[in-house]
Structure 1
Amino acid sequence: MKRYLLAPLASAVMMASTGAVADVSPLDAIPQDTGFSGYVAFGAASNKLESNMVTGTSLGDFDNERTSSLTKSPSSETESSGFINGEVRYTWANSRTQVVLGNDMVDALRYDLATQIGVRQEFGNSGVVGISYLFSAFPTQVFKDPYQTGVKRSDTDQTSNGFRITWDGIIGSNFDAMMSFREVDVDDEFSGTALGLSAADRRLLERDGDDSTFELLYRWNVAKGHTIAPAIRYIDRDRDGGAMRSEETGFQLSYLYSGSQKWNFSANLYAANDDYDKRSPIPAFNNKKRDDDILGGSFTAFYNEPMGWKDWRVMASAAYYEGDSNISFYDSEVRNFSLGMFYAF
């Protein structure tokens, strides 16, 4: 496996659902001065992955190409890697307008590899509205035919491109809203070919399609330096294959501590159910319709200005994701531990 990745690989692939919605940096607000701002983060990570569908990114993959059975959960693979991500923003203070390029801080804490280019506009007390184009600068690696057994499965690129709309501080309130729409494309889609399925049954397994995500979050400042942010999230995965089409409904609870000059903490819990549309055509799955229970969590700590270094932070994080499916083949698990440096400018 290549040892240098854009972000901690396993979580980048699997944990878009479990991140810190409460930004621990001041980058969320539009600055009062005209000019550049942003951040860069880099370090090292240890990643554990269990998945029969995903094998990594275009920058590196896990050694999970083989599976011996369609009726068993995937085996686990552990790898170490480096990571780097960042974002650059330019602000026109008089018009309260800002352009953005890179990995949003909130996405980075979620380990989401999406790269964005967009614009944010402050409308006085009505809040900040943003629109961004999202694209896969480094595609996810998935298997061409995940259902091959006893042989080395070949991988292919899965990309997602689309746009996102955000509204922070809706009408002066503590509510934030987000909508995103992405087109998902698998370059070489051969799902079910090795099993000799009919063309109609193979179409039920196609992973191309559209993903739509809707999130509503409330920031509750319970005490000085302590913020709790509950959120609800709905994801519609309108994939071409009916057996891969699903609706995920989840609840997230985040906690942010920013009451110390030296320490910031962010902790998150996420629970969801992902209900699929059609029954699987794969005989080994006994004509079941897939249904996944999802549980995830993350914890991130920042130590500010180590050794007096202005605008620098030491960052450490741990993240966990588990997808428990009624079809064992689709079980998944991700564990990530990372340590690095964060620089805000």
Structure 2
Amino acid sequence: MDNDKAGASRGLSRQQQDLLRRDSTAFFIKADFRQPLSATSFLKPAFSMTTAEADGSANSYIAYSAEVTYFKVLDRNLLALTASYSNRDYEAVNPVFNKARTDNEFGLFAAYEHKNFMGWQNWSFISLAGLGMSESNIDFYDSKQYMMSVGMNYQFQ
């Protein structure tokens, strides 16, 4: 973000504004594996780490995440349920709120697919629903997200 003006309207010094610069480079690594439970179901735990090095240290962070997904296949039906948790710690004090930010994020997600919907080859009915919550030690950053969709999917052969 060239010419980032974060904090300028709040009367912060140039040095304080520099702490809020958002241009960043991020690094993400994830490890997961499948653990069969039966011939038609399995668990897939995953662990990840993200680091973001922003021009302003108040926006630089390291995050650790864990999630687990349960998959169940029954004939032409596939169900996936995912639960996730992430902790993100920021590097420096945010001069607007006078504290270093820490976020805890929670998520629940469900996906369903019915293959060959209505007998149509290569077509699937799909539906998704999800909930995400972020709780921060700075109330301004607290959030909740809800998502729901239904649709059709075509798989090209």
Q: TM-score, normalised by structure 2?
A: 0.95
Q: Which ranges of structure 2 fall in alignment gaps of 5 or more residues? A: none
- Offset of residue 188 of structure 1: 5.5
The equivalent residue for 1:276 is 90
The equivalent residue for 1:143 is none
- Offset of residue 238 of structure 1: 1.1
The equivalent residue for 2:120 is 309
Measured at CA, do residues 339 and 188 of structure 1 come closer, stay the same or move farther in structure 2, by a change above 3 Å? farther
Higher RCO, 1 vs 2 (CA within 8 Å, ≥6 residues apart): 1
Q: Deviations over 1:52-75 (max 9, x none)?
A: xxxxxxxxxxxxxxxxxxxxxxxx
Matched length = 156
Give the residue type in structure 2 aligned to 1:195: R
Deviating beyond 4 angstroms after TM superposition, the runs of 4 or more aligned structure 1 residues are none
Give the residue type in structure 1 aligned to 2:120: W
Q: Which ranges of structure 1 fall in alignment gaps of 5 or more residues? A: 1-185
Partner Cα separation in structure 2 for residue 307 and residue 329 of structure 1? 47
The equivalent residue for 1:252 is 67
The equivalent residue for 1:189 is 4
Query: Which residue of 246, 259, 262 maps to 2:76?
Result: 262
2:58 paired with 1:239 = no
Measured at CA, do residues 324 and 197 of structure 1 come closer, stay the same or move farther in structure 2, by a change above 3 Å? same
The equivalent residue for 2:101 is 290
Give the residue type in structure 1 aligned to 2:78: N
Partner Cα separation in structure 2 for residue 187 and residue 242 of structure 1? 16
2:155 paired with 1:344 = yes
Give the residue type in structure 2 aligned to 1:263: N
SS at match of 1:293: strand
The equivalent residue for 1:332 is 143
2:39 paired with 1:228 = no
- Offset of residue 253 of structure 1: 0.4
Measured at CA, do residues 338 and 294 of structure 1 come closer, stay the same or move farther in structure 2, by a change above 3 Å? same
Partner Cα separation in structure 1 for residue 80 and residue 18 of structure 2? 42
- Offset of residue 190 of structure 1: 1.5
Partner Cα separation in structure 2 for residue 291 and residue 301 of structure 1? 34
Give the residue type in structure 1 aligned to 2:150: L
- Offset of residue 237 of structure 1: 1.1
Q: Deviations over 1:290-337 (max 9, x none)?
A: 011110121000011111100110001101111100001111221101
Measured at CA, do residues 341 and 188 of structure 1 come closer, stay the same or move farther in structure 2, by a change above 3 Å? farther
What are the residue-to-residue correspondences of 1:20-31 with 2, within 5 Å? none
SS at match of 1:190: coil
Partner Cα separation in structure 1 for residue 114 and residue 64 of structure 2? 34
- Offset of residue 262 of structure 1: 2.1
What are the residue-to-residue correspondences of 1:1-345 with 2, within 5 Å? 186=1, 189-258=4-73, 260-282=74-96, 285=97, 287-345=98-156
Partner Cα separation in structure 2 for residue 220 and residue 210 of structure 1? 33
Partner Cα separation in structure 2 for residue 313 and residue 188 of structure 1? 47
Give the residue type in structure 1 aligned to 2:104: D
Give the residue type in structure 2 aligned to 1:273: N
> Greater share of strand residues, 1 or 2?
2
Aligned-pair Cα RMSD in Å? 1.1
SS at match of 1:320: strand
The equivalent residue for 1:86 is none
Partner Cα separation in structure 1 for residue 135 and residue 121 of structure 2? 44
The equivalent residue for 1:96 is none
Give the residue type in structure 1 aligned to 2:153: F
Q: TM-score, normalised by structure 1?
A: 0.44
The equivalent residue for 1:33 is none
